[in-house]
Chains A and B, each alone.
Chain A
């Protein structure tokens, strides 16, 4: 088997962000020097992009949405499927047993995953939420994390999160002054699993560099570590994780993590929410 045969099997894991460390570097070095493998990579990348460009592929019909909402309102001991449902008869294994089996199956694979296997190990321990922000940022930057809503309109992206996360997220529009160009662009958002709930992930672009904002209402998250900077009555924790700059802070029951690469200064990334000149002064030191 030629080196190309074995390396070409790594195209999928490479594109999916499952190839890490030395293996990833070796693969990239080979692709640089081998036109045939490069062509394979580009062909498969085109398919991945086509899938991503067509998302979301499916949306549950309104009638099903209503039936599920009705189930969600029932107490746990009254969970027979509502009338009109179940066209394929009874299932042998009890629902409860099956749910427990699913939990066991995931305990093995899932537990490993909570730490975000795709993120390179941070040089020092980062908080779980900061790590998730970095992992999410990197996956999105590599094109491995499809967005569920794509829009430059803050209201559309905010609207997507309504009812999907336990808080209301209002993304402000940047106040553009005369002759001024908006320094960043809203790209879209998606839900990201965090603990037993969802965090809101919002993607921005600033000068072609991605900036990620992650928001959770979990009370178990405490921003910590890194350099603590107090500004405007809030404590911001600024740290470098896997070569990215991450700022975490808590305000009014919500915890935020803002991730960007080191070339974007922290204070510039804050502009995505605080665009006015007056507000910008509040975080000049970050």
Chain B
């Protein structure tokens, strides 16, 4: 009977590291949403992993490893921004063009993705952050609130506003590029 089979058991540390590395794409997307620059986003992700692997206290079984990693990344960015003068110039192009290596994806999906990246890049920072955490990463409002460091009610209102802006923006992009696929 062909079916799932267990591999040799891992140590707790190996399991922790593997589970952490599995969050890489999501962390990179969040880092891009915050930094809007591919190179800075890469460094931010790398710094996050260095901190996570060096941490004396890790999430215990039953605690939220993914949320923990996203919180470290968010805090690292906040500290970095305080230190950094002046504010980085928004690299909208970089955010919009950071495409998947996915040559076989259907054309409409690629175009939708491209439009959405552009629309996300145009959102105010605080809105982009919650959209990525909720809509892309699937965190609950309470988790987003923990990661971002704001009340859950603020997450709710920012999301509603962000989606209204996205709708407007996706519509505007569609208007600028007639003949493209519908959302």
Contact = CB atoms under 8 A, between A and B. Distances in A.
Interface of A: 9, 11-13, 16, 18, 43-44, 46-61, 63-65, 67-69, 71-72, 74, 76-77, 79-82, 85-89, 91-93, 95-96, 98-103, 105-114, 117-118, 139, 144-146, 163-170, 172, 191, 193, 195-198, 215, 217, 220, 251-254, 256, 273-274, 279
Given A47-B167, A106-B68, A107-B63, A96 B45 contact: no
A101 B138 CA distance: 22
A81 B44 CA distance: 11
Given A98-B51, A105-B146, A193-B64, A50 B183 contact: yes
Given A100-B57, A110-B146, A60 B25 contact: yes
Contacts of A49: 183
A79 B4 contact: no
A48 B163 contact: yes
Given A71-B46, A102-B71, A114 B64 contact: yes
Nearest to A100: B57
B56 A96 contact: yes
A61 B42 CA distance: 8
B2 A81 contact: no
B92 interface: no
Main secondary structure of the interface of A (DSSP, over half): mixed
A191 B57 contact: no
A16 B141 contact: yes
A57 B68 contact: no
Contact of A57 (B43, B62, B66, B116): B116
B3 interface: yes
B62 to A, nearest CB: 6
Contacts of B69: 102
A58 B167 contact: no
A18 B143 CA distance: 12
6 contacts: A57-B117, A95-B51, A96-B54, A102-B72, A111-B63, A196-B16
Main secondary structure of the interface of B (DSSP, over half): helix
A18 B3 contact: no
A71 B53 contact: yes
Contacts of B44: 88
A80 to B, nearest CB: 7
Contacts of A9: 156-157, 160
B22 to A, nearest CB: 5
A69 B21 CA distance: 7
A76 B53 contact: yes
A96 B56 CA distance: 7
B18 interface: yes
B94 to A, nearest CB: 11
Interface in B138-171: 138, 140-143, 145-147, 149, 156-157, 159-160, 163-164, 166-167, 170
Given A18-B156, A68-B49, A81-B46, 19 more contacts: A9-B160, A46-B167, A46-B183, A53-B183, A56-B29, A60-B25, A60-B28, A63-B42, A64-B42, A65-B24, A69-B21, A72-B17, A72-B18, A98-B51, A110-B64, A111-B63, A170-B2, A196-B63, A279-B1
